């Protein structure tokens, strides 16, 4: 009697889980395919680190493009409720129906890797990614690498096409959303994305020093449009926050001789009350050199076309 009851419970659990997957599949529509395999099959292959650099995998994911990309966004925000996990564990105790269940962390990891591979071919997902960033970024961060961070990382891989969609995040009232938006915009700027520098310049007057500091760092590493960027960085040497002043000095130094006209501001910063700012200003001044400057480290990004 007890065995029969357990079998009924197991079968009921398997039936519920199977029904859940069926409804999920019907609501999500038909999966895109490439080279005779579905998106799920290609994503499953990403569990093998070697597949990330496999030409066949890269070609397939990029070919599926926007249709695949929009399906990846919910995976970045995937979660497993305790009830779902209990049902899955219960269903797996029977042998009548084979249960295939992919846990939330695995789905998240697969989606992250897929966005990295797809790059600008996934730009169709930009609106949904920004929406996820804003929605989850408004919530307290329970741990590093949550949904908001995953969305920002995915946006970073989309290239110049993501810039127009990032504006709502950069204008958010939540500091964390703006900060994550800058992280994504920095990658776009490094990639030479049109409009990225213009959007970054708006950050220089942000109310939060962490956001201004991140903006200065992004400007320094992008190393583009020096005539437009350097004057803003020089103005930030007078920022009330020492961390911002320090980052502005380091950013100026990365422009080398192109920032020669900031030598006076850097000399003044060498007398700053903060020792860290003085050190950064001295290092930048040595590189600017009043016009000659020090040779820039070739490992750092340089001007477009260099």
Q: SS in 3 state form for 253-290?
A: HCCHHHHHHHHHHHHHHCCCCCHHHHHHHHHHHHHHHH
Mean pLDDT of 45-51: 86
Q: How far apart are CA 270 and CA 67, in angstroms?
A: 54
**Do the domain assignments include residue 167?**
no
The number of folded domains in the chain is: 2
Domain shared by 61 and 95, yes or no: yes
**Do the domain assignments include residue 216?**
yes
Antiparallel, parallel or unpaired: β 33-34 and 37-38: antiparallel
Closest Cα partner for 76 from 157, 178, 182, 14? 157
**Do the domain assignments include residue 105?**
yes
Residue 298 is predicted with a pLDDT of 35
**Higher confidence at residue 74 or residue 189?**
74
Domain shared by 47 and 109, yes or no: yes
Q: How far apart are CA 220 and CA 96, in angstroms?
A: 61
Residue 189 is predicted with a pLDDT of 67
Q: Which of 64-68, 217-221, 289-293 has maximum average pLDDT? A: 64-68
Residue 144 is predicted with a pLDDT of 52
What digits encode the pLDDT tens for the residues 145-156? 689 999 999 999
Domain shared by 180 and 206, yes or no: no
Q: Is the pTM of this model over 0.85?
A: no
Residue 205 is predicted with a pLDDT of 83
| 152, 185, 218 - which closes a domain | 185
Domain shared by 83 and 31, yes or no: yes
pLDDT beyond 60 at 300: no
Share of the chain above pLDDT 90, in %: 44
pLDDT beyond 60 at 210: yes
pLDDT beyond 90 at 280: yes
Q: Which two tokens stand for residue 126?
A: 């930009």
Domain shared by 217 and 179, yes or no: no
Domain shared by 232 and 86, yes or no: no
Domain shared by 125 and 228, yes or no: no
| 125, 150, 185 - which closes a domain | 185
pLDDT beyond 80 at 295: no
Q: Which of 4-8, 175-179, 293-297 has maximum average pLDDT? A: 175-179
Domain shared by 76 and 212, yes or no: no
Domain shared by 13 and 136, yes or no: yes
Domain shared by 203 and 179, yes or no: no
- Range of 230's domain? 195-306
pLDDT beyond 60 at 67: yes
Rounded alpha-carbon distances, angstroms, from residue 230 to 140, 193, 237, 249, 253? 35, 18, 11, 10, 10
Q: Are 15 and 90 in contact (CB under 8 A)?
A: no
**Do the domain assignments include residue 128?**
yes
Q: Which two tokens stand for residue 306?
A: 């260099």
Domain shared by 137 and 22, yes or no: yes
**Higher confidence at residue 98 or residue 179?**
179
């Amino acid at each position: 009697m007890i065995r029969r009851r357990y079998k009924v419970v197991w079968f009921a659990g398997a039936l519920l889980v199977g029904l859940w997957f069926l409804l999920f599949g019907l609501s999500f529509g038909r999966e895109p395919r490439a080279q005779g395999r579905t998106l799920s099959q290609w994503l499953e292959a990403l569990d093998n680190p070697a597949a990330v650099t496999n030409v066949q995998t890269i070609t397939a994911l990029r070919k599926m493009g926007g249709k695949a990309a929009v399906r990846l966004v919910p995976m970045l925000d995937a979660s497993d409720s305790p009830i779902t996990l209990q049902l899955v564990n219960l269903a797996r105790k029977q042998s009548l129906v084979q249960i295939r269940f992919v846990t939330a962390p695995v789905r998240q990891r697969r989606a992250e890797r897929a966005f990295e591979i797809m790059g600008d071919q996934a730009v169709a997902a930009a609106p949904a990614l920004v929406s996820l960033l804003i929605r989850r970024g408004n919530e307290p961060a329970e741990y590093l690498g949550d949904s908001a961070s995953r969305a920002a990382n995915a946006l970073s891989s989309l290239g110049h096409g993501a810039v127009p969609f990032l504006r709502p995040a950069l204008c958010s009232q939540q500091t964390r959303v703006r900060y994550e938006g800058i992280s994504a915009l920095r990658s776009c700027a490094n990639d030479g994305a049109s409009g990225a520098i213009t959007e970054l310049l708006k950050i220089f007057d942000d109310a939060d020093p962490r956001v201004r500091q991140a903006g200065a760092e992004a400007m320094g590493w992008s190393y583009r449009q020096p005539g437009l960027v350097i004057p803003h960085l020089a103005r930030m040497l007078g920022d009330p926050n020492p961390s911002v002043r320090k980052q502005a000095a380091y950013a100026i130094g990365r422009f080398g001789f192109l920032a020669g006209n900031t030598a006076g501001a850097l000399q003044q910063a060498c007398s700053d009350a903060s020792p860290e700012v003085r050190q950064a200003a001295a290092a930048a001044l040595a590189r600017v050199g009043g016009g000659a400057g020090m040779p820039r480290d070739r490992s750092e990004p340089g001007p477009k076309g260099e």
